[in-house]
Structures are given as C-alpha cells and as structure tokens.
Structure 1
Amino acid sequence: MSQNLSARRLRLRAVALASMVALAVPLAPAAASSSDPDPSPGLLADTGSAAVTGDDGNLLPGTIFPVPPDDFYDPPAGLGDGANGELIKVREQPAGWDARTWMVMYHSTNATGEDIPVTGRVVVPHQAWTGEGPRPIVTVGSGTRGVGDDCAPSRWLDYERPFVEPLLLKGYAVVITDYEGLGTPGTHTYMVGQSQGRTVLDMVRAATNLTASGLRAGGKVAIIGYSQGGASAAWAGELWASYAPELDVVGVAAGGVPADLTAVSEDLDGRIGFGLLLLAAFGYDAAYPELDLDGYLNDKGRAMYAEQQDACVDAALAFALQDLDVYTDEDPRYTAAWQARFTENQPGKNPPRVPVFLYHGLVDEIVPARQAAAYRDTVCAAGADVRWQWHLGEHVSTMVTAAPAVVAFVDNRFKGRTFYPTC
C-alpha cells in the first residue's frame, strides 16, 4: 500500500472515529487465563483491542490502527462440527470496564446450515449478582464495522458503549458477537440476517458454557442492536423460538433496522452511504455463492472487489456519492436469485412473542425511515407487542439519543415490569 493511500485511509478512520463517538479509556492489567478450553497463553497482552497503548498501559488518544497480529482468531486445524455455542477457545483479556472480559471462539451455524467458528466477547461486571435467578445476559448485535478480519468488533471501536456501559453498571452481563467471517476465516456475511441472528443467539450459549464467567443457563436474556446490529437483533428474535428455544428471552430492542435491503440499497446508490451497499453485495455473495457477484461486475468492479476484501467501515466512506452502474454491467439486485435471498433475510413476518422496542431516526441518511416504518407495520400486523419511537436525528446520533430508552427497556424486562406497546 502506498504512503498516500495509507495516509488517506488513516484520515478516513479518524473521521469514522469522530462520527461514532468512541472514547479512549484506561485498560485494566492483564488477568490470568481461565481453565476453559484452549486459553491460548503467550499472545500479546492486549490483542483484543485495536487501539494502541502507551508505556503507561493507557490508550493513546486517536490511535486506532494498526491492529496487532493475533492467532486467537485462527480456528484449530481439523476443527470439525460442534454443538451451537460450544466453546473452541477462551482467553481472558484486559477490559476498559469495571468487569472481567473474555474472548471466546464458539460454534455456530451459517445461513446455509453449515457449522462455523465465530469469535466474540463475554463481559461480566465485578459486582456480585444479588437478584433472582442467574445473572441476566444482554446479547448485542454490533453495528457495521466492515468485512475485513481487522474490522471484528472485538478488535475495533466500542461504539456500542452508550448501551453496554450502563447495562454493566446495573449488574447485567453483556456478550458481543463478531459475526461470521469477522476475524475468523472467510468474508463476513454482512447484512445476511439468517447468519447474524444465529451468531447473536449462540453467543449467549457460549457465555453460559464459559464456567469462569459464573454465568448459568436459564437466566433471562435480552437482545439488542442498532443498524446492522438492529437487523441482527431482529433476526435473533425471529429465530429464537425455533433455533434456541431453551433461552429465556424477555425482550428485543432493535434500532435503525435495514429490514428491506432492496429499498435500503436504492437509497444508498449514488449517496453518502454507497460504500455500505458494496459491503452488502460482498456479504451476500459470501453467504450464497450461487449469486455469483463476479458475473455482474465490469473490470472496474472486479478490481474494486479484489482491493476491498479487507475494507472496514471507514474505507467505505471513500465510495460516497458513487453509483452501482460504475462497477457493474448488470444490476444484480433485481434478479430472481438476489431477490429470493433478500426476501429470505427480510425480518418482520415472524416476530418474537415478547416485548419489542423499535426506534429510528426521522432524518436517517443511511437507512431510510419509510422502510423502517414499513417494517414496524409488518411486525405489528404479525401480532407482536411493539413500542415504536421516532428520534429527531440522523443515523449515528439516533444510536446515542436512544441509548437511555434501550437501557430502560432492558432493565424493565429483566425486572418483569409492565410493558406498554404502541401497537
């Protein structure tokens, strides 16, 4: 990579950092590895963070990359299949919260039914749990990080902190999946809800299989997420009853949900979020090889595809205001094959029979509000108990302004308080 391109990417990453309201915080000292499967000792002290530390162990402000090498994300040779949520690797790591944090690798199932290794984090507050039953768990679907291995949520920015930190302060455990192909081998299946939803659910199973965490099966579970994570939370809610019925899910909070990918892509084409459309095309092609994205690309498109296989969300900003027809000979979105897969991954028709909190920004420039309202109407028509909330903001700010309502929703669900739906 040339120095000019490197400088450009770093400037874009600085923009992404500012827009996502990430905060640099001190790291706790490294803790000893647990006795759970394959603690992988001897790796870098803080390989779970993409940020850079100074001599005093604190994060240096504004330093995000490079991500240090870390073979934790490499599955063991001859892994074979395993039960969903079965642990493959465990490593305790420093945390920026008043909590213990573990990296885990676990088994999950992708959109076509194949066993896959997935990584993620388990975060448990130091404070003892004094409530009824096992400590509740909040499983988080992360927002867009990109498609490259360096973009894994466990290695990049914690811009879900407005949700995560208040939940930890209330004594709840928080678990955050990296999804399929982020960190682990293969291209990330970005925006493929059937895969994302399963990894969110299996993250809970993995956490309760981690004996050192003190978490136990049978406790209450809440599912939350925003943007890509909102779609993941929505899909986890839809899959829960059939895929992980043993989990005691008590509520789902999903914001900024890109439910109708055709409608979302039409708003992204030629606009500021065009790079996200490209990432979604990569993700669907990775999940469903029969879609044959290469067959629709022109020479410029093939060159772009080859160059952007490790793209993080910041790199996608460089494609703002471009058009899909610059990279394609034929638009794949409206073909029967692509439409079938979009429909298969469009949530709303089978919502969970638990309280659902949906919210969206009125002036969202990335995920159009009209398709969010259509998703809400579909979920309501399907018989779900839904509370809907508009926020006077665009895409990023809505995540921040909605965070207190999400935390209150989760807290009320765990405490069994009355839920007041708007439909």
Structure 2
Amino acid sequence: MKHPSVRGCSAIVLAAVLTFGSGAVAQAASAPATTPATTANPLDFYITPASLPANNGDLVRTEPSVFYVDPLKTIRAQASVQRIMYRSVNSSGVPVAVTGTVMVPYAAWTGSGPRPLVSYAPGTQGQGDQCAPSRAMATGEEYEGIFIAGLLARGYSVAVTDYEGLGTAGSHTYMARESQAHAVLDATRAAQRLGNPQIVPGGPVALAGYSQGGGASAAAVELAPQYAPELNLKGAYAGAVPADLPAVGRNLDGGLYTGFLLYAVTGMGAAGGLDLSPHLNAAGRAKLAATDNECTLQSIASSGFLNTAQLTVSGQKLSSLLELPELKTVIAAQKIGNGRAPQVPVLLSHSVLDDVIPYDQGRQLAKRWCGAGSSVYFDVTAGATHIGGYAAAIPQAFIFLERRFSNRSAVSNCWLYG
C-alpha cells in the first residue's frame, strides 16, 4: 500500500455543483442510522487474492459501506451501499482485481420498467491507493459526490469503479483507454451480479463521466458492443474527453495541473510495461515517486506551475517523453474514436474555456464519431475553466439520462460535425 496523505474537496467544485444539485442534497439528508460492518483492518478488503473468478465482472468479495456526500458527514445518501471487488482485465489482457461501490436508492423506482443503472466513471482522483473513490465516498471526501447523489435522487442505481491499481495492488494506469473502459463495463456486470433485486440483469444501463471519467465513459461506450454485448446499454454521457493525449500533455506541462501529466507518465509507463526512469534525473525520479502517493489536490499544490525541464536527463520538458518511440506507440493506442464508434446515443460536453483539456479535443471526437455514423449531441458550454465546464455540463447530462431511460428519441447535432 502507498502511504496515506491528505485528501480534500474543492470548495469551488462543490459550490458550482450545489447550484444544480440542491434537490439531491435534500433527498440525501436523512438515512437509516445503521452502520456498515467493519473488519479489524478496513484496508484488508483491498488485498488482491491469489486467484480470481473465471469471468470478467465476477465478484471477488463485497462488504457493506456508506456514502457521505460531505466531509463533515452531515449528509448520508439514502441508499444501500456495497463496496465491491470484481474481476476485470487490463490493457494487456491480464486479469486484475478492481474495487468500486454500488448504491441502490431506498426510495422505490417510480419510472416504467426496471430501475436503471448508471455506471459512473470518476474524474482524476490521484495515484495513491488512499485516493480510491470507494474510500473517499465513505469519508465524505469524494469531490464528485454531489453529482453521484443527484443520480441517486433521480432513482437510479449507481456503480462507481475505482479503476485498475487505485486502492488495489499495482500502479494506477491513469488514462489507459482499454483498462479504464473494462473497469467501467465490468463494474456494471458486477453490480448486476450482486443479487440485489433492484439491479436486474438485462436492465437499462447508461455510462457517465467527466475528464478522466469522460475518457473512460467514451472508451467504454466504444468497446461495449464487443466487450460487453449483453448489457442493455441506452447511452453515455462523456464530458471533457481527453481523446488525444499528446495534445493534452503539452497543454498541462508547466501549468496548474502539471501533476496530471506526472500521473500520465506513470500510468502510460505502467500500461505499456515500460521503465521510463532512464529518461529522468534524480529530481525527476524523486518527484514521480512522491506524486505516485498523492491525491488530486495534493498534486495540484505540490506540482502546479512546475518547470518540468528540471526533471529530465535531456533538459527538455516532461511532455517530451510522450514523443519517445517506445512510449509513442502506447500513447497512440489511447486515442478515442480511432476506428471505433458508439452504437448507442452519446452526449459529449466540452467548454470552450477549458484550461485543462483543450476544447478542440471534444470537437474533433464529435467529428470522428459523427463521421462513423454515431448519434452524437455535442454540447458546447462556456463554463469558466475545467471546473466550470464540469458544472455547466450537469443540467444537460441529467436531461440526457432521463431521456435515454424513458426511451425517448435521441437528439443529434451531427449535421454540424459530420
């Protein structure tokens, strides 16, 4: 296990999301007073067993958990909450154990048909094991908790993956397209195999996520027809998708979110089985090792506006490593919309003022998917910065999910991008 560190919530994010999610908070305010069973060491749950079940999505173990929406633990979600460990497979086809959380609202589903399930892909959490959403949700420190509570308030069951290596053994393969897609889809399968009568196998499913989660949702909706064809997938919301990593890396280098580039160097190296340490000097190796134990806010504070040329043997910026021949092949495999396209409707959202993932990433992905015949609505917002884009996307995301689960016709603006 990586050592614990401070994890916090961004007041800016919470304030922005609360503007759109006050109903979710109100419905989450009062929950039964029961507490989940605990083990002698809560971290024992995350230890990977010597052998895994036979099929992707099969459950390894489960335990009761809890979801607090706020760090003061004053708002507890009105839902049954289970922490899960399930089998998935990484980008190299190797079976891995992944953890996550499954939640079912206590309130009866009043819509038509079975209760829908949303498989939610979290945004950037960090690289340390303590950053796993299943741990943060139990302590009220998951910065996307308000949006997740909004899904529950609308009556949907929710599965939230921790991704490969976040909480469990090994490195978190940050931004590894296939690994993240598999983790999202297998979390859906695992939720349907829990035996909860409110999550019906074959019931309606949608995917959702923003930023790293937008990339995971987009990758998952592309792969679903081949990887998980049995899922009754209705659609996917994907916000601020980092669809082409080299451009994102160059944009991050030296800015406030330089820590995310450090995550990507570790994640891509792990996904490709590459040792990049010969390209780093002593300061670079020490910085990468330290960042591997940090969560998002800690990395923003420790690496914001860092001159990454001080970390490399060549004296070039860290983003230059993305052009190394051995890493370039790995990076190229992460491109979303590269010969693959969704077979269900998708809502893409991106702010023209995004300071983390350039707006053109979303526009070009919309063009690629529309050109392949997919049903895409590209929602262009003017949310200030990456955080503002997150908040600005929320109303359309909820409307999109409601329309997909009520089987209303999909809206597409591909005529603008096809």
TM-score bracket for this pair, using the shorter chain length: 0.7 to 0.9
Alpha-carbon shift at residue 26 of structure 1 (Å): 6.4
Cα pair 1:146 1:313 within 8 Å, conserved: yes
Is residue 361 from structure 1 mapped to residue 355 from structure 2 by the alignment? no
Residue in structure 2 matched with residue 55 of structure 1 by the alignment: none
> Structure 2 counterpart of 1:275, which letter?
G
TM-score, scaled to structure 1: 0.85
TM-score, scaled to structure 2: 0.86
Equivalences for residues 280-299 of structure 1 within 5 A: 280-289=264-273, 291-299=274-282
Alpha-carbon shift at residue 329 of structure 1 (Å): 1.8
Name the stretch that deviates more: 381-390 or 180-189.
Answer: 381-390
Q: Equivalents in 1 of 2:134, 2:30: separation in Å? A: 14
Higher relative contact order (CA 8 A, sep 6+): 2
Cα pair 2:348 2:362 within 8 Å, conserved: no
* RMSD, aligned α-carbons: 2.2
Q: Equivalents in 2 of 1:411, 1:80: separation in Å? A: 36
Residue in structure 2 matched with residue 86 of structure 1 by the alignment: 58
Cα pair 1:274 1:323 within 8 Å, conserved: no
Q: After the TM superposition, list the runs of 4 or more consecutive aligned residues in structure 1 that deviate by more than 3 angstroms.
A: 22-33, 130-133
| Counterpart among 395, 413, 421 of residue 412 in structure 2 | 421
- After superposition, give the CA deviation of every residue in 1:181-217 in whole Å (9 maximum; x if it has no partner): 1111111111111100100000010001101363121
Query: Any stretches of 5+ residues in structure 1 without a counterpart?
Result: 1-5, 34-40, 45-67
Residue in structure 1 matched with residue 370 of structure 2 by the alignment: 380
Alpha-carbon shift at residue 129 of structure 1 (Å): 2.7
- After superposition, give the CA deviation of every residue in 1:256-281 in whole Å (9 maximum; x if it has no partner): 11111100011111111111100111
Is residue 405 from structure 1 mapped to residue 396 from structure 2 by the alignment? yes
Cα pair 1:29 1:94 within 8 Å, conserved: no
Cα pair 2:30 2:78 within 8 Å, conserved: no
Residue in structure 2 matched with residue 329 of structure 1 by the alignment: 313
Cα pair 1:386 1:421 within 8 Å, conserved: yes
Q: Equivalents in 2 of 1:115, 1:30: separation in Å? A: 38
Cα pair 1:30 1:93 within 8 Å, conserved: no
| Counterpart among 90, 112, 122 of residue 102 in structure 2 | 122
Alpha-carbon shift at residue 353 of structure 1 (Å): 1.3
Q: Equivalents in 1 of 2:52, 2:372: separation in Å? A: 39
Residue in structure 1 matched with residue 44 of structure 2 by the alignment: 71
Residue 14 of structure 2 aligns to a residue in which SS?
Answer: coil
Q: Equivalents in 1 of 2:304, 2:104: separation in Å? A: 39
Q: Equivalents in 1 of 2:151, 2:42: separation in Å? A: 31
Alpha-carbon shift at residue 42 of structure 1 (Å): 3.9
| Counterpart among 7, 10, 13 of residue 17 in structure 1 | 10
Q: Equivalents in 2 of 1:20, 1:295: separation in Å? A: 38
- After superposition, give the CA deviation of every residue in 1:143-183 in whole Å (9 maximum; x if it has no partner): 00001100001122333234322322222111100000111
Residue in structure 1 matched with residue 290 of structure 2 by the alignment: 307
Alpha-carbon shift at residue 98 of structure 1 (Å): 1.2
Q: Quick one: structure 1 residues 161 and 335, their matched pair in 2 at CA, closer, same or farther if it must change by over 3 Å?
A: same
Residue in structure 2 matched with residue 107 of structure 1 by the alignment: 87
Residue in structure 2 matched with residue 179 of structure 1 by the alignment: 163
Residue in structure 1 matched with residue 71 of structure 2 by the alignment: none
Cα pair 1:85 1:206 within 8 Å, conserved: yes
Q: Equivalents in 2 of 1:373, 1:42: separation in Å? A: 47
Residue 231 of structure 1 aligns to a residue in which SS?
Answer: helix
| Counterpart among 103, 108, 116 of residue 136 in structure 1 | 116
Residue in structure 2 matched with residue 267 of structure 1 by the alignment: 251
Cα pair 1:259 1:375 within 8 Å, conserved: yes
Is residue 236 from structure 1 mapped to residue 220 from structure 2 by the alignment? yes
